[in-house]
Structure 1
Amino acid sequence: MSRSRTGSAAPPSRRRTALLAACTLMAATGATATALTAQAGAAAPGCRVDYQVTNQWSTGFGANVTVTNTGDPVSAWTLEWTYAGNQRIGQAWNATATQSGAVVTARNAPYNGSLATGASASFGFNASYSGTNAVPTTFKLNGVTCNGVPDPGPGPTDPPPPTGSRVDNPYAGAKVYVNPEWSAKAAAEPGGSRISNQPTGVWLDRIAAINGVNGGMGLRAHLDEALRQKGTGELAIQLVIYNLPGRDCAALASNGELGPTEIEKYRTQYIDPIATILADPKYAGLRIVTTVEIDSLPNLVTNVSPRATATPNCDVMKANGNYIKGVGYALNKLGAIGNVYNYVDAGHHGWLGWDDNFGPSAELFKQAATSEGSTVSKVHGFIVNTANYSALKEDHFKIEDSVNGVSVRQSKWVDWNRYTDELSYAQAMRAKLVSLGFDQNLGMLIDTSRNGWGGTARPAGPGATTNVDTYVNGGRYDRRIHLGNWCNQAGAGLGERPKAAPAAGIDAYVWMKPPGESDGSSSQIPNDEGKGFDRMCDPTYTGNARNGNSMSGALPNSPVAGHWFSAQFQELMKNAHPAL
């Protein structure tokens, strides 16, 4: 993936790519990829296609496809290819896919049909096969064939980026920082050494965290340790910027220290000191990933009047604009630092996957990204599912399925959502954001720290087709009582291990929420961190409008948000998928 940030000129490789006449095809299965560039004189529209098999088993596979228009602008697109074997397309998302014989035709969804020159759209699908599963070699965009010759790769005038320079994907080719404080806690747990070397996010959840709390490591200490871990190679360190005024207006467990009107304190005592430290030339060789203000902006869409889920606190934050101002200010200040990569929180599919949430949230993200002097160029990407439990990929049911004529969307679990999992949601949100003017090669992160849902309760196949609810509930990996449950969920497990570039449009799977850190206390616990008590963390709570008045599904005896919760850590390891 390629990006140009902060308005600077693109590196040589970007300029060379931009001059290609028509089409580039990239096909990948696992770690194998080939690249083809177009012959001179090819007709517009042109395209670049990234076809990637993301998951394969004996009788089927999943794939992601990203098509980039390198020719004239189009208002709608159709992508065609022909399989050499007996592959048969099943479920598709973010596009409508049909098949006649070996020929597959994918047409844009209503929201991603317009492609300017250089713009891209992503879609995915599941398919069946037997024997071999060869990657297609020829694609057509709106009837024009994308052909070519092998890309020679970097040449004498197209060198790889030097060490420490800005890159397209900060996770690619880099180690990721292992927080020694979290690692020590994990290693002290029985069996914890199996994961204690995994990279996790460093949460700056109050002003005091910048210098360190109760003798713990502050920001400079973490950056110094990151330099030590870096050695002579590349290293990315993940920071969570999380201290907005009136933080987390729809919940109480992770309320913060700043009141709703304290925007100036947020700027001068929180963001400015962080920016000063990150801009220190001493740290210029690090790739600093910032995930900006988890669980903030979507509240201004879903939890404000006249919604039934509205809260007075969210109404206040929408009226005073301090979420928008705070996020814009953070993006502007941090994005001005050459080695900082800003990723903005974009909720998760169980929050924003409905039609009346999805588009308005994307519009709000752009509003924040262009406020307080910021621009979309200071957003490197977005992160989804942070500290949440939504399954990465549901294999046993798809949004287009129906049972006895009733759509899966009508099941109690899906409840008319457009998405069944985080991967499809992340790729769709990416396409929507690109259509609104964000960088065409925007990168997405997915937090997989607690969405594995393995163990003995993991379904091995679809549910019974008695009705749509038995079908969905019997086959879903996500075993929460309700999709809206979010606090210390019983039965959850570690998900995919952190990895770079795992799927089309995805910069990395990450463990931004450190496994073993509580979401909130199961009862009222006085503290000096500004963190309240939310009944959603109480296992006896019977719910509210946001979780369909269901039981909370929370583990008992949990501590304040962010504090170590041994029982949760053990639960996550026991139910890990892939298993430890």
Structure 2
Amino acid sequence: MSRTKSALLSAMALVAGATGTAFAVPGGAGASGVPCTVDYQVQDHWNNGFIASVTITNNTAPKSSWAVKWSYAGSERVVNGWNANVVQSGADVTATNESYNGNLGTGGSVSFGFQGSYSGSNNIPSTFSLDGVTCNVDSGGPTDPPTGSRLDNPYDGAEVYVNPEWSAKAAAEPGGERIADQPTGVWLDRIAAIGGVDGGMGLRDHLDAAVKQKGDGELVIQLVVYNLPGRDCAALASNGELGPTEIDRYKTEYIDPIAGILADPKYVGLRIVTTIEIDSLPNLITNTGSRPTATPECDTMKANGNYVKGVGYALSKLGDIPNVYNYVDAAHHGWIGWDDNFGASADLFKQAATAEGATVADVHGFITNTANYSALTEDHFSIDEQVSGKPVRQSKWVDWNRYVDELSFTQAFRQQLVSTGFDSKIGMLIDTSRNGWGGSARPSAPGAKTSVDTYVDGGRYDRRIHVGNWCNQKGAGLGERPQASPEPGIDAYVWMKPPGESDGSSKAIPNNEGKGFDRMCDPTYNGNPRNGNSMSGAFPDAPISGHWFSAQFQELMQNSYPPLT
């Protein structure tokens, strides 16, 4: 429960506290005679800490900038804020607009929030002003007792948000009604997505819809935070709008507005799960330096530190909101399952989780296989087997990896992360949206033991040409349906990548989304060092990433495992 303190000025004067001091109301107020109102809410709090939100309504002439001021009577201190520049000097606090929310029309409102600390009692400020004009007088008082902390697993005991836009597209496909009620992630892949693109739903629209879906129960809504500067330095199909050095725009135009919206008290009853920056940090491990897979773009992002800074800033800002659960993207077993990558990746994640004001407490867990195709389990061979005197690790498919499937990798990587300094209670998510590999090509028995390669290739569920292939893979199928707590250490199987949304275009397609053309999405491409110079295995005639791809959606349903009924 939150405690709200809100009061309006009378048309002539107000009395502040018990001192009897009168404040004259200046002329120029709106029709009500009230120049401005302030709604100050303590959204949540815990031992010596709290989250507050402030909404200011202007009833005077329009403003192109604004400053809200108040004072604390006790030990309260502002730690950090969002949607405004919030600074404190002694007991006095001043919040000024960001570059994107300075305009405040007559009758218009703006909201911002902040994290604070206190000792003893946490008192509500008694007086507020907007640009020097008194708005609010309230005697204040201590907040309500703490309401609790984050859940160990936000998915337990909760439904998960069904995106009505994706659901409508799925239901419009022949047979799509069978999965149209499944929950999927909402992707915020550019600044414009926060407000909504081409008349579509924005972040507030999705959150409002989630509140309605929640009703009297519990609900998780899944958001993908995906817009780093120099995004995806090794894959042109998912390049983003921000250049390699535009870390300040990432902070002020992207993360801060998202944090401001998520902190709105109307959404406090939602369990908000965020997937933080897909494929970003692993690129700094595998695609930099002297490695044959290195790219100049990834070397740049490692050198300028903006991936680490961006992830740290996102974790810090979003982690300040008590009902937000951050899960950092941790690639998949076919990327960081090798000895050279495994521990180094965990160390890098720890570095990012302690950058830009973040701490490991801002990380609730990690997610693997996001938008990828790695099989959940491989039942017909294991890493410890030998065939004809050669270990399975030596097969061309496994290629000395320590793991052959996503579940074993994810559970082991969780232990590595804990040993690196993350909380022992962190949970893992696995994206199973496209890793079912069912249909007639799914093996029902191990391969022949004539060689280690025939044994592995004949029995593996994952039918990709190479484990490094990632774009619109031909023959893929829907995987396990979203579910909570399916295995030890796993918070949920999720469909974070909405089935039917393309990974990238099969050929160059001009667009205004900042998305390029990657040859790995071209079915005629014969590969590069990152996929062992193998064919790409991509589906033909694909649209740009994120756009609906009917032919692939139909194949995903056809090859679903478990099968659709």
Q: Which category describes the TM-score, using the shorter chain as reference length?
A: 0.7 to 0.9
Corresponding residue of 2:363: 379
Contact 1:543 1:550 (C-alpha < 8 Å) held by counterparts: yes
CA distance in 2, matches of 1:500, 1:165: 20
Deviation at 1:164, TM superposition (A): 8.9
Corresponding residue of 1:309: 293
Deviation at 1:182, TM superposition (A): 0.2
Match of 1:245 among 214, 224, 229: 229
| Aligned: 1:340 with 2:324 | yes
Contact 2:46 2:149 (C-alpha < 8 Å) held by counterparts: no
CA distance in 1, matches of 2:156, 2:199: 33
Corresponding residue of 2:9: none
Secondary structure in structure 2 of the residue aligned to 1:445? strand
| Aligned: 1:491 with 2:475 | yes
CA distance in 2, matches of 1:377, 1:554: 39
Aligned AA (1:569) = F
Corresponding residue of 2:430: 446
Contact 1:163 1:234 (C-alpha < 8 Å) held by counterparts: no
| Aligned: 1:349 with 2:333 | yes
Deviation at 1:340, TM superposition (A): 0.1
| Aligned: 1:547 with 2:531 | yes
Aligned AA (1:561) = S
Corresponding residue of 1:285: 269
Aligned AA (2:268) = A
Aligned AA (2:533) = N
Deviation at 1:163, TM superposition (A): 9.6
| Aligned: 1:469 with 2:469 | no
CA distance in 2, matches of 1:465, 1:9: 61
> Does the C-alpha gap of structure 1 residues 467 and 173 become closer, same or farther in structure 2, counting only changes over 3 Å?
same
1:412-467 per-residue CA deviation (whole Å, 9 max, x = no partner) reads 00000000000001001100000011110110000000000000000001000000
1:45-444 counterparts in 2 under 5 A? 166-444=150-428
CA distance in 1, matches of 2:266, 2:508: 43
CA distance in 2, matches of 1:250, 1:265: 22
Secondary structure in structure 2 of the residue aligned to 1:567? helix
CA RMSD of aligned residues (A): 1.4
Corresponding residue of 1:481: 465
CA distance in 1, matches of 2:500, 2:190: 20
CA distance in 2, matches of 1:251, 1:448: 21
Secondary structure in structure 2 of the residue aligned to 1:298? helix
> Does the C-alpha gap of structure 1 residues 458 and 163 become closer, same or farther in structure 2, counting only changes over 3 Å?
farther
1:464-496 per-residue CA deviation (whole Å, 9 max, x = no partner) reads 000000000000000000000000000000000
Secondary structure in structure 2 of the residue aligned to 1:431? helix
CA distance in 2, matches of 1:167, 1:381: 12
Corresponding residue of 2:497: 513
Corresponding residue of 1:578: 562
Secondary structure in structure 2 of the residue aligned to 1:502? strand
CA distance in 1, matches of 2:540, 2:474: 9
| Aligned: 1:526 with 2:510 | yes
Deviation at 1:311, TM superposition (A): 0.2
Larger RCO (CA under 8 A, 6+ residues apart): 1
CA distance in 1, matches of 2:489, 2:178: 29
CA distance in 2, matches of 1:300, 1:466: 39
Q: How many residues align?
A: 424
Contact 1:413 1:483 (C-alpha < 8 Å) held by counterparts: yes
1:267-320 per-residue CA deviation (whole Å, 9 max, x = no partner) reads 000000000000000000000000000010000010001111000000000000
Secondary structure in structure 1 of the residue aligned to 2:236? coil
CA distance in 2, matches of 1:190, 1:401: 43
Corresponding residue of 1:459: 443
Deviation at 1:572, TM superposition (A): 0.3
Contact 2:477 2:558 (C-alpha < 8 Å) held by counterparts: yes
Aligned AA (1:387) = A
CA distance in 1, matches of 2:281, 2:552: 28
Instruction: Name structure 2 gaps, 5 residues minimum.
Output: 1-43, 49-145
Deviation at 1:9, TM superposition (A): 6.1
> Does the C-alpha gap of structure 1 residues 516 and 373 become closer, same or farther in structure 2, counting only changes over 3 Å?
same
Contact 1:163 1:285 (C-alpha < 8 Å) held by counterparts: no
CA distance in 2, matches of 1:386, 1:451: 10
CA distance in 1, matches of 2:447, 2:386: 12
Larger C-alpha radius of gyration, 1 or 2? Answer: 2
| Aligned: 1:567 with 2:551 | yes
Contact 1:176 1:199 (C-alpha < 8 Å) held by counterparts: yes
Secondary structure in structure 2 of the residue aligned to 1:479? coil
CA distance in 1, matches of 2:551, 2:498: 14
CA distance in 2, matches of 1:228, 1:515: 24
Deviation at 1:8, TM superposition (A): 5.5
Deviation at 1:577, TM superposition (A): 0.1
Contact 1:164 1:234 (C-alpha < 8 Å) held by counterparts: no
CA distance in 2, matches of 1:182, 1:164: 34
Deviation at 1:166, TM superposition (A): 2.6
Aligned AA (2:456) = V
1:340-380 per-residue CA deviation (whole Å, 9 max, x = no partner) reads 00000000000000000111011000000000010000000
CA distance in 2, matches of 1:376, 1:165: 16
Secondary structure in structure 2 of the residue aligned to 1:253? helix
Aligned residues with identical type, % of pairs: 79
1:535-554 per-residue CA deviation (whole Å, 9 max, x = no partner) reads 00000000000001000000
CA distance in 1, matches of 2:47, 2:482: 31
Aligned AA (1:258) = L
